[in-house]
Amino acid sequence: MVRILSVLTIWLWSVAASALEGYRIGPSDRLRIEVLDQAQLSREFMVQADGSVRLPRVGTVAFDGLTLGEAQVLLTHRIASSMGLARPDVTIEIVTYRPVYVTGHVQTPGAHAYAPGMTVMSLIALAGGYRRSNADDSVSRLEVGRLLERLGQLQDQLAASHVRLARLQAERDGREQIVRVPDLQQLVPEQRISDLYTLETTLLDVRRQTLSEALSNAANQRAELNRELDSLQSRRTGKNAQIVILQREITMFRGLQERNLSPVTRVFELDRAMIGYEGDLREIDATVARARREAALVEQRELSLKADRQLEIANGIKEMADAVAQQWASILSLEAQINTARGLTAATGAAVDPSGVAFEKLMVLRRGAEHFVQIGLIDNVRPDDVLAIPTPPPSRNARRLD
């Protein structure tokens, strides 16, 4: 039964995720912005009250009312124009959404943190459940449903962490394919597993291609600098040869001039030519030094790209391994709570079937709407929703705890 309800919970989570497609950014959303090779721009930003975000070297960018895709296109153009980057690699994701609000007959009305997949039932549970009177101290009929929903979320997170860890290990080892993690179907449906592998495989390909392109660009730049150095070295050799010949010519004409066989002006002309040749040689040497410095910087950047990626992968593997351990511990703890709650529910006779409470007339006010509309317990809520909870009717199956 736990497995069936967990699958149902994951299905509801998938429906909720689809409902958030096209989500529009607004004040109080926290965004994580990543710009490749731009550490000062790659961090979290809070959307301000006017719907804008202020970024270093870019300035204020208005995100209010934009989808993530639209915001990403806008920010890409702004970074390109502000920083002179040809094709900045920009990604934006939402770290935390705007809160949801609960009013009425709950233990803790007010603002509550929103999470994707949140249902009315889970929001009521987050608000402490229905407010009970002294005459009705029965077990909350939402308790088991809330625990099962949380279990499904944890199982999905654990499956995602396993696949992400496998992707990081493949990236570390230089493999083109992600090793399949056994027994994931015990956590989530096959379709969800397929979606997770598709997502992480795409990410693996993109990250490998991005690094390959960056290394290729650096290698091409280094090769161009080496060709320039070869050309400069050839010019330097030729210029030295010209100086040697000119020096011989100067020596010869000075000897002729001492015997009055050559005019003094000819020696002066040759001296001026020597000064010009020596100036050309100094300019070539300065250009060679500059090209060598640039080549060294490019080589250092190549090494840094590889080292930074390996360090990032190593940190990611450690983080995911820790997450897997914590999620397993949370699942085991939650399963124990479910078993305890079920035993308590059986003793008190409290109703816990979510379908048995779907008749209650709950109302929600959506962002931008003028009127409340009816919503069910297993329906999804959205950021900025205001959920109104009426006084529920007493459960026919619940009885007093003595």
Question: Over 90: is that where the pLDDT of 125 sits?
Answer: no
Distance, CA of 75 to CA of 124 (rounded, Å): 37
CA 73 to centroid of chain Cα atoms: 16
The whole-number pLDDT of residue 84 equals: 80
Contact assessment for residue 79 and residue 85, using Cβ atoms and an 8 Å cutoff:
yes
The whole-number pLDDT of residue 361 equals: 67
Distance, CA of 350 to CA of 371 (rounded, Å): 34
Question: Over 70: is that where the pLDDT of 316 sits?
Answer: yes
Sequence-ordered list of residues with C-beta below 8 angstroms from that of 359, at least 6 positions apart, any chain:
none
Band the pLDDT of 197: cuts 50, 70, 90: very high
Question: Over 90: is that where the pLDDT of 158 sits?
Answer: yes
Percent of the chain with pLDDT over 70: 83
Band the pLDDT of 343: cuts 50, 70, 90: low
Mean pLDDT computed over 136-157 = 72
Sequence-ordered list of residues with C-beta below 8 angstroms from that of 157, at least 6 positions apart, any chain:
323, 327
φ and ψ at 96, to 5 degrees?
A: -135, 140
The whole-number pLDDT of residue 391 equals: 63
Distance, CA of 225 to CA of 289 (rounded, Å): 11
Mean pLDDT computed over 149-165 = 91
Q: What is the pLDDT of residues 5-18, one digit of tens each?
A: 443 444 444 444 44
Tokens of 31: 């965004």
Go through 309-337 and write b for each residue having 16 or more CB atoms within 10 A of its CB, e for each that does not.
beeebeebbeebeebbeebeebbeebeee
Mean pLDDT computed over 144-164 = 88
The whole-number pLDDT of residue 351 equals: 36
Distance, CA of 273 to CA of 190 (rounded, Å): 82
φ and ψ at 49, to 5 degrees?
A: -60, -30
Question: Over 80: is that where the pLDDT of 341 sits?
Answer: no
Matching residue, tokens 């003595």: 402
Distance, CA of 210 to CA of 36 (rounded, Å): 9
* 272 vs 137, residue with greater confidence: 272
The whole-number pLDDT of residue 286 equals: 92
The whole-number pLDDT of residue 349 equals: 40
DSSP string, 43-91: EEEE--TTSEEEETTTEEEE-TT--HHHHHHHHHHHHHHHH--SS--EE
Mean pLDDT computed over 231-245 = 91
Distance, CA of 14 to CA of 20 (rounded, Å): 10
Distance, CA of 112 to CA of 387 (rounded, Å): 11
Sequence-ordered list of residues with C-beta below 8 angstroms from that of 206, at least 6 positions apart, any chain:
none
Closest CA to 52 of 14, 82, 25: 25
Element (H, E) at 146: helix 143-173
Which stretches does DSSP call E strand in 203-345?
A: none
The whole-number pLDDT of residue 402 equals: 32
The whole-number pLDDT of residue 202 equals: 94
- Domains belonging to the chain, first-starting first, are 17-96 (3.30.1950.10), 97-132+353-395 (3.10.560.10), 140-348 (no CATH)
- Three-state DSSP at 186 gives helix
Question: Over 70: is that where the pLDDT of 248 sits?
Answer: yes
Q: What is the pLDDT of residues 215-232, one digit of tens each?
A: 899 889 989 999 999 999
Sequence-ordered list of residues with C-beta below 8 angstroms from that of 135, at least 6 positions apart, any chain:
none
Closest CA to 157 of 357, 330, 339: 330
Mean model confidence pLDDT for the chain = 81
**Single-letter code of the amino acid located at 394:** P
pTM, to two decimals: 0.45
Sign of the alpha-carbon dihedral angle for 8, 377, 101, 145? negative
- Three-state DSSP at 293 gives helix
